[in-house]
């Protein structure tokens, strides 16, 4: 446990949770992972749905219209 954690009625935790059992923040595997950088290409304005169809489908870009078809791509 980090030195700033004390488990008692007057708990002092870095996160401020004041839990008597101990703080579990900072103990998840993701806490030790390095942040990632992503690349997102510019959306090209082509194959555009009309307003009504775009509202119905949730996107105006036909190329991005990827309906959910179920688990693992199976219906």
The confidence score (pLDDT) of residue 10 equals 53
> What is the Cα–Cα distance from 25 to 15, expressed in whole angstroms?
7
Distances (CA, A) of 53 to 13, 19, 43, 69, 74: 52, 51, 19, 19, 25
Distance, in Å, from the CA atom of 32 to the CA atom of 55, rounded to the nearest integer, reads: 41
Side-chain half-sphere CA neighbours of 6 within 13 A: 6
Mean pLDDT value across residues 10-32: 67
pTM score > 0.85 for this model?
Answer: no
Stronger pLDDT, 7 or 60, i.e. the higher one: 60
Query: Quick check: helix, strand or coil at residue 74?
Result: coil
**Domain assignments of the chain as residue spans, ordered by start:** 1-29, 42-73
């Amino acid at each position: 446990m980090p030195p700033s954690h004390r488990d008692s009625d007057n708990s002092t935790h870095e996160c401020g949770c004041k839990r008597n059992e101990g703080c579990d923040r900072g103990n998840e595997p993701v806490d030790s992972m390095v942040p990632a950088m992503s690349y997102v290409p510019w959306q090209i304005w082509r194959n555009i749905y009309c307003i009504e169809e775009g509202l119905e489908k949730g996107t105006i870009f036909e190329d991005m219209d990827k309906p959910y078809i179920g688990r693992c791509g199976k219906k």
